[in-house]
Amino acid sequence: MTQQFRITLLPGDGIGPEIMNVAVDVLKVVGKKFDIGFNFQEAPIGGAAIDASGEPLPATTLEICRNSDAVLLAAIGGYKWDSLPPHQRPEGGLLGLRAGLELFANLRPAKIIPELIDASTLKKEVVAGVDIMVVRELTGGIYFGKPRGIFTTETGEKRGVNTMAYTESEIERIGRVAFAAAQKRTGKLCSVDKANVLDVSQLWRSRITELGKEYPDVELSHMYVDNAAMQLVRAPKQFDTIVTGNLFGDILSDAAAMLTGSIGMLPSASLGASAPGVYEPVHGSAPDIAGLDRANPLAQVLSAAMMLRYGLNQPTAADHVEKAVSLILQRGLRTGDIMSPGMTLLGCRAMGDALIQTLEEE
C-alpha cells in the first residue's frame, strides 16, 4: 500500500524556485520507485511573500506548513528587500516559521564528498572520511534569553546585555534529539559546553550526563567549546555527532561545514517535538545568478533526502537519493560553483536531468 505524505514547498527567492523544481522532480521519481506518494502544496515565504502580501510569513503559509508532514524550503532574501526595516525583511519569515512550528533542533551534517575533497582548505589526510552531524539547540540560549537590550547606567554609560539561559526541559529535549541522531549513526555523541566558566553550561553538562544513562548504546563525551573549535580543524574525524547550545552551535556548525570546502553542497534540518520539520540547504538565495540556470541544486536535493530520512522515516529512499548524488559527481558532472579542470559543466536543469537519469538506472 502506497504511503502518502503531505509536503509543503517553500521555493522562496532568488535561485529557490529553480533548485526546488529539481528536488520535486527527484522526489517524484523516488516516490514511484519506493511506492511513496507525495501531495505537494506550494506557499510563499520571504521576499516573494512580501511582494504578494506585504509580510514575509503570511498566516496562510504557516497554517499550510502546520498541516503538512514535512516542509521543504529553498532560499529566502535578496538585494531587492535589503532596504526594508529589519522586522519586515525576508529573513523574518524564516525566524517566524521556526517559532511558529516550535522548531528547537537544528541538524547540520558536514560530510566530505570524496570527489570534492580538493575544495577543502585542510590537508586531504585530515579531512578524508569526515562525517559529522552538529545538533544545535535553536530556540533558547543567549539569542532568546532575558533580560536583553542596551541600557543606560546611572552614570549615563551605555551597557549591552544578553542573557544565556537554559531550563532542564530545554536541555533534555535537544539532548534526546541528539542521542537519537547518534543512534542512527555510529553511536558516538560529544556534548559541547563551557562548564568550567558558565553556570548554564554546568546545568547543561549535568542534564546531558543524566540523560545519557537512558541511552547505553551511545558513547557520550564532553568537550569545552574552545577546545572543540580547535579539534574540529586539528582532528575532525574524532567527531561523529555533536550536541550544543544555540550560540556555540551557530559557530561550530559553520566551522564544520567549511571543512568540506563546499558549503553550497550542504543540507540541514530544523525539527520540533511534534510539528513538521523544515528541511533546507545551508546556502543562500544567490540573487546574482537567479534565473540564469547556473544554480547548484544538489544541496536542495540532499535536503529532500534528509526529509525522507528524518521527517518521513524513509531511510532506503534517502540512501537512494544520496547515492545518486555521489554517482553523478563520480562521473565528473559539475555546476559552476564546484567546477574543476577536466570536469563537465552543467546548468541547474541539466544537473537535475542527470540526477533523474541516475535514479532511474540504479
Helix axis angle, 16-34 to 315-330, nearest 10°: 120
Catalytic member of 194, 215, 240, 279: 194
Rounded alpha-carbon distances, angstroms, from residue 116 to 127, 208, 308, 347, 356: 11, 35, 24, 18, 21
- Record the cell numbers describing residue 24, joined without a space: 520535486
Q: Kindly tell me the burial class for residue 162, based on how many C-beta atoms sit within 10 Å of its own C-beta (0-12, 13-18, 19 or more).
A: middle
82 is known as an active-site residue: no
13 is known as an active-site residue: no
Amino acid at 288: D
Catalytic member of 226, 288, 319, 323: 226
25 is known as an active-site residue: no
Rounded alpha-carbon distances, angstroms, from residue 32 to 37, 126, 317, 351: 8, 40, 11, 20
d(C-alpha 15, C-alpha 175), whole Å: 35
Catalytic member of 143, 237, 293, 337: 143
Yes or no: say if 246 and 140 are a contact pair by the CB < 8 Å rule: yes
143 is known as an active-site residue: yes
Helix axis angle, 348-361 to 315-330, nearest 10°: 120
Dmax over CA atoms of the chain, in Å, equals 73
Catalytic member of 254, 293, 337, 353: 254
Catalytic member of 13, 25, 193, 250: 250
226 is known as an active-site residue: yes
Catalytic residues: 143, 194, 226, 250, 254
